[in-house]
Amino acid sequence: MNHSKVLKIIQVLEKEYKTPVIFLEFSNPLETLVATILSAQCTDARVNIVTKDLFRKYRTVRDYAKADIKEFERDIHSTGFYHNKAKNIINAAKMIISDFGGKVPDTMDGLLHLPGVARKTANIVLSHGFGKIDGIAVDTHVSRLSQRIGLSENKDPDKIERDLMLSIPKEHWYKINYILIMHGRKICNARKPKCEECVIRELCPRIGVK
């Protein structure tokens, strides 16, 4: 797809979904990191229920580093995959203390060194925790829509992110994640996209493809 058509799609979607939506609830970079790790294969609504108590119980990076893993697994059990998530969060906290002076790193390279952190998580922490836009977070909605509407032919999240970064001007990078999520939830859902209601139906090369 040529760049002018990609930009037109983004502009139409930005007009449709004007107000940025933050789906996970957090108030600092550490909470952003924890919530995003917990969100893997779990709904944002469930994560927000869990973190409401979790963030009161564990307030500092040292609280997480010192956590008893069995107790922590119970605390996050309902988010699924709690064994790996607990291990990654506790080990990430330990590494933040040992390697980053007790502060969540504010660079892509630093974040990618932490257990359980891939580019999607790192992008979310950078943008929402530090106001830095270094890439585009590719979750399941972004992945599905990027392929369906012709923004990328790849299935690997890192390659999809690369395609999006090459075709979308950087000033749109922050918004693209949430507008594709909103469009994916409201219209272009996985099982039965509502193509007749889609504001980009005239621009979509794969309209109706499931």
Check if 103 is active-site: no
For residues 51 and 25, the answer to whether their CB atoms sit within 8 Å is yes
Among residues 120, 134, 163, 175, the one annotated as catalytic is 120
Q: How many residues belong to the chain?
A: 210
For residues 156 and 198, the answer to whether their CB atoms sit within 8 Å is no
Among residues 75, 85, 134, 139, the one annotated as catalytic is 139
| Closest C-alpha to 144, from 86, 206, 52, 99 | 206
Check if 68 is active-site: no
For residues 43 and 52, the answer to whether their CB atoms sit within 8 Å is no
Q: Pinpoint the alpha helices (H) of the chain.
A: 3-16, 29-38, 44-57, 61-65, 69-76, 82-100, 108-112, 119-124, 130, 140-148, 157-167, 173-186
Q: What is the maximal distance between C-alpha atoms in the chain?
A: 55
Q: Which of the residues are catalytic?
A: 120, 139
